[in-house]
Amino acid sequence: MKAYVCREFGPVDSHKVEEIEDPRAEPGMVIMDVKAAGVSFPDVLIVQGKYQFQPPFPFSPGGEVAGIVTEIGEGVTDWKVGDRAIAMTGNGGIAEKVAAYAATLMPLPESMGFKDGAAFPLNYGTTYYALKQRGELKPGETLLVTGAGGGVGTTAIEIGKAMGARVIAAASNQEKLDIAKRLGADEVVNYGDGELKEKVKALTDGQGADVIYDAVGGDIFMQCMRCINWKGRVLVIGFPAGIPAVPTNLALLKGCSIVGVFWGRFTGTEPEENAKNFDELFALHAEGKLKPEITKSYSLDEAIVAIKSLEDRTATGKVVIEI
Ligand SMILES: NC(=O)c1ccc[n+]([C@@H]2O[C@H](COP(=O)([O-])OP(=O)(O)OC[C@H]3O[C@@H](n4cnc5c(N)ncnc54)[C@H](OP(=O)(O)O)[C@@H]3O)[C@@H](O)[C@H]2O)c1
């Protein structure tokens, strides 16, 4: 089969799309024909050895796919050849075939095509867990989303609105803010000039946001700590702009919580809660309240361009590889 293969850690464009052996269905696993693979920021990091997990070589990135089950491993009873499924693969998804643990599979809803299926699990799963279980967002509260024009950011606007919040979307350029507005953000803020804190305070009568979904890190996180409301919750989602060192006196002065969000671990430690979250997310998708913002699809041969668009910050919404 063809796959984008990492044989040693290095820049995204140092790896190639090449022919490799097909994966085998080990016990508890299935093999899927990948129809579409979601691209997300961890793919940028994992091939460079900068992600929290480092798979053994050779490996392909790609943590989420939608496709068709073609082989069943020993001990797997609840899936059959021909089933349409979404799988959380961790890695290996940017390939024509992938081996996935049956426990990570979900049926691809009738209402969903392969591209939407591949774009769905990581970003919506993370965001719903973040806003529901970790941030306890309530109707009427103000939610600030940073990196609002990116993969997880666009889902935070949609889910924040679906949960009844007033959403302030923040991003670095007008193209990303236009997407945020189209997805339902009540207000948009361009932080390209370094004035996120001032702009959010001006929009909230000087109070700040009740919940902040920070998908950016670095200096943006520091500004978030200065525009969080009393008793607010700052959700730590990711760090494309770097991991900030936070002066903890800010948490004291604001009486706020800094809340870590690690969706991958939640799926393993609380699988029933995660399954319930997805029942609710799929229902919202079927009602038309959630629609993955897929701005660009690439072929497998274009995997480098697809992943690099996240690295160089030009990607908007969700990027998908169609196979
Ligand atoms: N906690 C979890 O369980 C979990 C789950 C999934 C993803 N994540 C993390 O969430 C973060 C976002 O992932 P994503 O897939 O949504 O990525 P993405 O689509 O590339 O969006 C990230 C956004 O970050 C902003 N950014 C600021 N500085 C950047 C830089 N130096 N390089 C790249 N982007 C920069 C960009 O927006 P502006 O240009 O508007 O600033 C960009 O749109 C990543 O750190 C990822 O690892 C965490």
Total domains, the chain: 2
DSSP 3-state assignment of 307? helix
Instruction: Report the nearest-CA residue for atom 28 of ligand 1.
Output: 241
In a domain, 271, yes or no: no
Ligand 1, residue 310: give the atom nearest the CA.
20
Q: CA-CA distance, 146 to 151, in Å (whole number)?
A: 11
218 lies in some domain: yes
Residue 111: predicted pLDDT:
87
Q: Is residue 273 in some structural domain?
A: no
Residues of the chain where predicted confidence (pLDDT) is lower than 50? none
Cα–Cα distance between 37 and 310 in angstroms, integer? 15
Domain range holding 31?
2-120+292-322
Measured from the Cα of 152, ligand 1's closest atom is 16
* Ligand 1 site residues, Cβ closer than 6 angstroms: 40-42, 122, 126, 147, 149-153, 171-172, 176, 215-216, 237-241, 261-264, 310, 313, 315
| The residue type at 316 | T
277-315 pLDDT per residue, tens: 999 999 999 999 999 999 999 999 999 999 999 999 999
Kindly report the CATH number assigned to the domain that includes residue 193.
3.40.50.720
Q: Is residue 285 part of a domain?
A: no
Has residue 77 been placed in a domain?
yes
Can you state the percent helix, strand and coil of the chain, rounding each to 5?
35, 30, 40
The neighbouring-strand residues paired with 211 are 143, 233
Residue 269 within any structural domain of the chain: no
First-to-last alpha carbon distance for the chain, in angstroms, is 12
pLDDT at position 151, please?
A: 97
Q: Tell me, in angstroms, the distance from the centre of ligand 1 to residue 216's CA.
A: 6
* pTM (whole model) above 0.75: yes
- Together in a domain, 31 and 151: no
Query: 296: domain CATH number?
Result: 3.90.180.10
Residue closest by Cα to atom 45 of ligand 1: 238
How far is the centre of ligand 1, averaged over its atoms, from the C-alpha of 260 (Å)?
A: 15
Peptide bond into 58 cis (omega under 30): yes
Output the CA 20–ligand 1 centroid distance in Å.
30
